[in-house]
Structure 1
């Protein structure tokens, strides 16, 4: 795979505000999710606050960020125009309102409202699947990243539907008479959400981003591990989810071992790219390094746990503490990626046309290095504290303190990127959040099917 893409249509990107709006809303959901986790640890919240915490972080921050990244990345990398910018705007507010409403319902114990807000999230995710799916259909042939994205979209179509069924069961209790119990459906839903929708997207993106920004290529064992992952990982996810849905331990065990082996192999690929690079370390690559180590450790623990009992509730997300996967792997990949993508989008629209005419800052000059170092330290130490609290069964105060430290890191991270948008974006923060199509401000100013006019390079 080429480290630097050579055939990118620079006129295919959406307006700047479309992906940025997703990222900013995602950051708000991240901070809210961290706060709910801390309040849950000290027993302040009632209801199913744990579910609120999980949905704000995964369905909220991670998935909304993925939606924004695909809206930006797919048109640029795949050399096709985004199918609809109006749908890209609609998907965000439907999902954001739905996830926030579900979190509030879980936290307050108002379970009768979960399905109402879940319906909004369902419509939002399906809008996203349709919009990006139609965009991907125009790209042929698919490379490894596009194949992963297409598979992830299939998972994004199924997972919200399963979640909506679980939400409806709070009101009508139809799963009580179903051959599939609520516990099994919830386990399959969580499996397809985390390992299907989220991690499939992460893997697909890293095949491009890790090589692009380390200026390396896949070679030798990397190629063999990639081939195994491309087949073994999706088969493993489907087998693990189906085994949990049917209560079949042998099927779930085979699927789980395939998932663990595929992710362990990918951790080797990612680690090799980071070792081989001669590029100066950036916040992006530093966070990818943490993710590579966490992914390798998680694969070992998950393989052992799923070999013993893949249906155990404690092994839902693999062996060891859940924060190893959620924060250590997914969290650090998303944080690292945003440290490049957000400044990149802003830089292109603000400074790219000025190159050669006046002095302009570099992309990495837009954010504050000290804040980046501070949020990295806080998130890393907070995550380590959460892992230690789980493994060593430490008091709740340790969990709450570690969660608060990680949340402070998330807040610093969000502040750093908000300053980038506020200080360097050609649009104010309010304009990024409320303009319907971004550059023109109204639908009439920029037709939905018009190509973007700003020159760009791949993010």
Structure 2
């Protein structure tokens, strides 16, 4: 199972490096501009599809085997999925660069086909295993949100190109963003964390009740938010899904605390510590966002606030969580592939020898500080601070991902 996850993870790391290089080459100027431009769409989709979703898909192929102790439904289908999704994403990004509606439409369909193939492959794996718990249920929910996100994006593209339902464009856009960020990434990360956090902390006997509560609250937030956007409900109605999300994140933090209390390993490593810290920060941010919406309901859809929320959620939690888990997943994949067959036959390095933990700590700390500075710049509307912080974030992220990539040369 090494090659299939490796393809996705390596491609995702390459896209992440490309994103950082392009941002540095522009001195992060695109961040200071309104996001709804071809340049904004290009960078956002490169980060979300090319990096985060690509990495997530590779991680699912690897971790679903660990969770279920069964092979995936079809490896061949996995390779077809990789080809379709990668080609579709590359073409879609090129379409944004040349501002070609035809390119965007054609390659969006190809990327959507890749998403459907991935969903079918993992769904069949889940149904064949017939093991239903918070991990598999969260995964199933995330898959449904991924397909729905892709479908909404495709519909939005057709609507934009042919002006079929102009009054629906804003509704589709907001629902596309909400379901993709909260549904796909949120349910997937929390779901697999129910396996990975106890595993890395060596925690045993943690109850499943809290994860079920998180799943119900998080799913309710995704659904109510999607309905509010699609029905063009007044801004104050969004307080309900945000309140549900805040409750879900707070309960999820309770679960994380219980895992840490039940641990038999004092330190799981800097990457996992960063995952926990980002989870605490997400709870604080959601609480502040909810209080802000209660105080200023008319500004719930203010573009600047949405952009800040996007950076805080996608980079501050999704991004740091992925980067933190990669510090464990990449060495495990490579060590198992290269050194696993040599165990007991010759002297081999340990997994810890492949990636020095203190450098992981330095890299993630630098990323977090740069991100906080960028969010401060966005909040204050200071373009110079935005550009300097965005460039710093891209630089330290590029160094970090190169450091992770070095594992494959060990």
**Superposed pair shares fold, TM > 0.5:** yes
Specify whether residues 139 and 97 from structure 1 end up closer, same or farther in structure 2 by C-alpha distance, changes over 3 A only.
same
Instruction: State the match for 1:314 in structure 2.
Output: 302
CA distance in 2, matches of 1:43, 1:319: 13
Structure 1: state its 5+ residue gaps. 1-13, 424-459
1:319-353: CA deviation from partner (whole Å, max 9, x where unpaired): 95422111110011101111111110111122223
Instruction: State the match for 1:85 in structure 2.
Output: 75
For residue 100 of structure 1, report the CA deviation from its aligned partner: 2.8
Which SS does the other structure have where 2:267 is aligned? coil
1:19-73: CA deviation from partner (whole Å, max 9, x where unpaired): 0110010011212233445538425999521121211111221111111111111
Instruction: State the match for 1:242 in structure 2.
Output: 227
Instruction: State the match for 2:405 in structure 1.
Output: 418
Specify whether residues 40 and 256 from structure 1 end up closer, same or farther in structure 2 by C-alpha distance, changes over 3 A only.
farther
Whether the 8 Å contact between 1:47 and 1:108 is mirrored in structure 2 is no
Give the structure-2-normalised TM-score: 0.90
Instruction: State the match for 1:122 in structure 2.
Output: 112
Give the root-mean-square deviation of aligned CA atoms: 2.6
Superposition pairs of residues 1-16 of structure 1, within 5 angstroms: 14=1, 16=2
Instruction: State the match for 1:266 in structure 2.
Output: 252
CA distance in 1, matches of 2:298, 2:121: 35
1:160-182: CA deviation from partner (whole Å, max 9, x where unpaired): 01101111223211122xxx520
CA distance in 1, matches of 2:368, 2:209: 32
Instruction: State the match for 2:363 in structure 1.
Output: 375
Which SS does the other structure have where 2:73 is aligned? coil
CA distance in 1, matches of 2:292, 2:27: 27
For residue 225 of structure 1, report the CA deviation from its aligned partner: 3.8
Which SS does the other structure have where 2:339 is aligned? helix
Aligned residues: 403
For residue 290 of structure 1, report the CA deviation from its aligned partner: 2.8
For residue 261 of structure 1, report the CA deviation from its aligned partner: 1.1
Instruction: State the match for 1:182 in structure 2.
Output: 169
CA distance in 2, matches of 1:314, 1:275: 40
Instruction: State the match for 1:212 in structure 2.
Output: 199
Matched, 1:201 2:188: yes
Instruction: State the match for 1:405 in structure 2.
Output: 392
**Which stretch of structure 1 is more off in the superposition, 313-322 or 31-40?**
313-322
Instruction: State the match for 2:160 in structure 1.
Output: 170
Superposition pairs of residues 19-418 of structure 1, within 5 angstroms: 19-37=5-23, 39=26, 41-42=28-29, 47-176=37-166, 181-217=168-204, 219=206, 225-249=210-234, 252-274=238-260, 277=263, 278-307=265-294, 308-309=296-297, 312-314=300-302, 320-369=308-357, 371-394=359-382, 396-418=383-405
Specify whether residues 218 and 303 from structure 1 end up closer, same or farther in structure 2 by C-alpha distance, changes over 3 A only.
farther
Structure 2: state its 5+ residue gaps. none
Whether the 8 Å contact between 1:42 and 1:397 is mirrored in structure 2 is no
Which SS does the other structure have where 1:32 is aligned? helix
CA distance in 1, matches of 2:298, 2:267: 41
Specify whether residues 121 and 140 from structure 1 end up closer, same or farther in structure 2 by C-alpha distance, changes over 3 A only.
same
Specify whether residues 185 and 141 from structure 1 end up closer, same or farther in structure 2 by C-alpha distance, changes over 3 A only.
same
CA distance in 2, matches of 1:146, 1:181: 34
Larger RCO, structure (CA 8 Å, separation 6 or more) = 1
CA distance in 2, matches of 1:281, 1:70: 21
1:343-368: CA deviation from partner (whole Å, max 9, x where unpaired): 10111122223333332211121124
Whether the 8 Å contact between 1:191 and 1:317 is mirrored in structure 2 is no
**Larger helix proportion of the pair:** 2
